[in-house]
Chains A and B, each alone.
Chain A
């Protein structure tokens, strides 16, 4: 099949993820949008592994998954911690440095 189409799909998904990250103010939804962008990057890696006929891209996608899992655990615990002190998950609520 034509690998260009999959790359375009990955670009569209990345764009939608960026859109959500910039518009949504719920920290959890914004975080999920980051996950969507990571998934789009993974899709590019797997497609390129298919194009080049080697497995290196898939190994890289595995490493991205591991890093994403680690990132989610730490990020979510930070969100819970911010919620405890500000009683809100809105990204606008964490404005201690601004004041």
Chain B
């Protein structure tokens, strides 16, 4: 095995403060994904410290098992459940933060007072590592001689955990699955009692510069239709500001129209959208939302053109 000859002190003074900073990031970041990233950062630094302290196999296992497997599992679950909302900052128990900080400082102080002073100087692992020809060989000799029964027990533990995770994550259906007819009947009942629109939800907006699913459709009055974008995007606030875009398009149209008017006096009617159905104005948002996306921008432009003439 290649000896890792980096001076332990240097590694400690680099990785130690970084680990403390990462640990504070884990606690203080409001978004769980940032917390997970800080945690992975702490674990990688810890692996570097292990490597410098004569435990190269443990350093590799730290990166593979913790950073590679456990943190990925955390991120997977984070993606499954509620990555869209940040943690609430409201204290449910009065003065919880202050008392918790005091308790944490107390715990750290107790540990430092209890085990923070080693009487002997560090013996080093060189002789122990060399006894069997290396760190890996030494650990193997330990695992398969003195610790063989605990080692076997961990295999039982892992199998139990795998089976347990499968049993827990299995989705047992509590109620029978609804048929299509039942769902249609439910929709019509919701329409009859609460007036919920029974048809499909409106499409996302198709504007001159954006047509992604993050673009909300415009209602006839120029406001955005909340039903036309995903709730998750709305919750994150990651939607395009469509009214601003349509205003921009209207301004561009007006500019082009003014230019055309200045150069060539006889302007053909640029956009003939035909007579608008009168019922559109008084209709409910859900009925017209599918018609809305383009109409907001182009109507404003047509109006601007007509005004400028």
* Nearest chain B residue, comparing its CB with the CB of A59: B142
Bound together, the chains give a CA A22 to CA B8 distance in angstroms of 33
List residues of chain B with CB within 8 A of the CB of A67.
Answer: 154, 157
What interface size band does chain B fall in?
35 or more
Expressed in whole angstroms, the minimum distance between the Cβ of A3 and any Cβ of chain B is: 5
How many residues of A are in contact with the other chain, CB < 8 A? Answer: 74
Q: Does B105 have its Cβ within 8 Å of any Cβ on chain A?
A: yes
**What are 8 inter-chain pairs, A to B, with CB distance below 8 A?**
A6-B49, A18-B104, A51-B123, A59-B147, A66-B154, A73-B73, A77-B168, A81-B168
The answer to whether A1 touches B8 (Cβ under 8 A) is yes
Bound together, the chains give a CA A58 to CA B51 distance in angstroms of 12
The answer to whether A55 touches B115 (Cβ under 8 A) is no
B79-122 CB contact bits vs A (8 Å, 1 = yes)?
Answer: 01110000110001000110011011101110110011110101
Which B residues form the contact surface with A (CB < 8 A)?
8-9, 12, 16, 19-20, 23-24, 26-27, 32, 35-36, 39, 42-43, 46, 49-50, 53-55, 57-58, 61-62, 65-66, 69-70, 73-74, 77-78, 80-82, 87-88, 92, 96-97, 100-101, 103-105, 107-109, 111-112, 115-118, 120, 122-125, 127-129, 135, 138-139, 142-143, 146-147, 150, 154, 157-158, 160-162, 164-165, 168-169, 171
The answer to whether B169 touches A80 (Cβ under 8 A) is yes
- Given B39, B53, B158, which contacts A69 in the complex, CB threshold below 8 Å? B158
Bound together, the chains give a CA A55 to CA B211 distance in angstroms of 61
- Given B103, B116, B139, B164, which contacts A8 in the complex, CB threshold below 8 Å? B116
List residues of chain B with CB within 8 A of the CB of A53.
Answer: 123-125, 127-128
A1-39 CB contact bits vs B (8 Å, 1 = yes)?
Answer: 111111111111111111110111110110111011001
Given contacts A9-B20, A13-B23, A33-B26, contact A26 B168 (CB under 8 A): no
Expressed in whole angstroms, the minimum distance between the Cβ of A22 and any Cβ of chain B is: 4
Expressed in whole angstroms, the minimum distance between the Cβ of A5 and any Cβ of chain B is: 6
Given contacts A36-B26, A51-B122, A81-B169, contact A69 B108 (CB under 8 A): no
Q: Does A74 have its Cβ within 8 Å of any Cβ on chain B?
A: yes
List residues of chain A with CB within 8 A of the CB of B62.
Answer: 42, 65
